[in-house]
Amino acid sequence: MEEVESIVEEVTTEKDWNALKQEASVKCIVVKFFAVWCGACKIMIDKFEAIAQEYKDHQDIRFVKINIETLEDLASEFDVSALPTFVLLKEGKEIERALGPHQELLETMVKKHCTVA
């Protein structure tokens, strides 16, 4: 079986996060806040990747993951209180979030805010 390269980017520094937010071509950022010890986060690994793959041809949508233990300040800034937490930002502002391993909620959120009808 051929392994598909992940298009979900892991953000590991605040500098990288700030650079991503400043990219002019990026209109929509879908963030997954996770922890390596979180069982519900592990359930969503393949599902989050599958959703990202669906939108791989949309250059203005980026899917990223952020480990709350690596970037504690960013997790605090986004008031992450449950894992996984999915936050959708449009043009730099939080538009919506979904808590827990709910693929359908995440898919609906992305379709609603990140696609042009």
Contact 90, 27 (CB under 8 A): yes
Active site residue 114: no
CA distance 61 to 63: 7
CA distance 66 to 115: 23
CA distance 86 to 48: 10
Amino acid at 55: Y
Q: Which member of 11, 28, 41, 106 is catalytic?
A: 41
Q: Which member of 26, 38, 40, 43 is catalytic?
A: 38
CA distance 77 to 105: 23
Active site residue 38: yes
Task: Point out the residues that are catalytic.
Answer: 38, 41
